[in-house]
């Protein structure tokens, strides 16, 4: 399985990319979140993506969904399917495709060649697409949010999305047939624990606690480091001396 973290910052040569917006591309055909999916490649690259799983409604995970749907539109009946929990789909309808922020692609799809088909995710119920089995797992964030276990016949990856300390995610991860890597957020430095708690994100100290819930050896990638605090968060993650921990590199394809 190939996992690519799409880039959303364009630094000067030699400078680090920042984690501004979130999209993971799986095998070039399935996206987890659409923060920067609409800014990826050329329209033909985007049209290859037939399924988008939206973890939650926050705009760093949804910002480019309208642009993506426009770029991926091929006037075919088998249009892009957007998968999300009930709260996500309701927010997309009310807050994004509302004929103010963007044309109501959901209504337009009922009469004309469709832009978008919606699929309601149920926590714990597996969705099979493009040779992948994707399990949405409820995590602990300020709005209803799913993490995702993504499996094929010989590999597995866990994308935790945005979450504070959580348990069900790790129960599912520990029971998975294959698990090669975990992408876990570390959004705020330890000194900002109050804000992390309020906004239901993790600090490096909490990150270490979450990783201890894993009962199997896997590669761990820290992601979603708030750009303004990146160096501090990275130093605190390094100090954990966790085996197999790396900062998730954007615009890089990981193969499992």
Comparing CB distances to Zn ion, the nearer of 66 and 164 is 164
- Characterize the bridge pairing of strands 51-53 and 80-84: parallel
4 binds Zn ion (CB under 5 A): no
CB 216 within 8 A of CB 179: yes
Going residue by residue from 54 to 83, which x/- string records binding to Zn ion, judged by CB under 5 A?
Answer: ----x-x-----------------------
Comparing CB distances to Zn ion, the nearer of 4 and 226 is 226
Smallest gap from Cβ 109 to Zn ion, in A, equals: 26
Q: Segment 102-121, which members bind Zn ion (CB under 5 A)? A: none
19 binds Zn ion (CB under 5 A): no
Q: Alpha-carbon distance 229 to 188, whole Å?
A: 7
Smallest gap from Cβ 38 to Zn ion, in A, equals: 17
Tokens of 152: 């094929």
Residue 124's CB is within 10 A of a number of other CB atoms, namely: 11
Smallest gap from Cβ 146 to Zn ion, in A, equals: 12
201 binds Zn ion (CB under 5 A): no
Comparing CB distances to Zn ion, the nearer of 35 and 156 is 35
3-state secondary structure of 42: coil
Smallest gap from Cβ 168 to Zn ion, in A, equals: 18
Q: Alpha-carbon distance 242 to 186, whole Å?
A: 14
Cα 69–chain centre separation: 17
33 binds Zn ion (CB under 5 A): no
Residues β-bridged to residue 2: 255
162 binds Zn ion (CB under 5 A): yes
Q: Alpha-carbon distance 85 to 118, whole Å?
A: 10
Q: Residues in the site for Zn ion, rule: CB under 5 A?
A: 58, 60, 162
């Amino acid at each position: 399985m190939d996992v690519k973290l799409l880039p959303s910052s364009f630094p000067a040569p030699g400078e680090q990319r920042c984690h501004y917006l979130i999209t993971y591309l799986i095998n070039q055909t399935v996206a987890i979140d659409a923060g920067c999916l609409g800014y990826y490649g050329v329209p033909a690259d985007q049209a290859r993506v037939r399924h988008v799983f939206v973890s939650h409604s926050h705009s760093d995970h949804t910002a480019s969904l309208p642009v993506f749907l426009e770029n991926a539109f091929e006037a075919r009946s088998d249009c892009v399917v957007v998968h999300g929990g009930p709260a996500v789909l309701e927010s997309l309808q009310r807050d994004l495709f509302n004929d103010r922020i963007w044309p109501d692609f959901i209504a337009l799809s009922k009469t004309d060649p469709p832009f978008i088909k919606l699929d309601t995710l149920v926590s714990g119920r597996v969705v099979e697409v493009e040779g992948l089995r994707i399990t949405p797992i409820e995590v602990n964030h300020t709005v209803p949010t799913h993490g995702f276990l993504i499996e094929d016949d010989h590999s597995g990856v866990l994308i935790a999305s945005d979450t504070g300390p959580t348990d069900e995610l790790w129960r599912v991860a520990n029971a998975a047939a294959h698990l090669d890597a975990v992408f876990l957020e570390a959004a705020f430095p330890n000194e900002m624990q109050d804000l992390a708690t309020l906004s239901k994100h993790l600090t490096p100290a909490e990150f270490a606690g979450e990783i201890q819930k894993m009962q199997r050896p896997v590669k761990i990638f820290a992601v979603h480091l708030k750009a303004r605090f990146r160096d501090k968060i990275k130093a605190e993650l390094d100090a954990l001396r966790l085996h197999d921990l790396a900062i998730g590199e954007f615009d890089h394809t990981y193969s499992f």
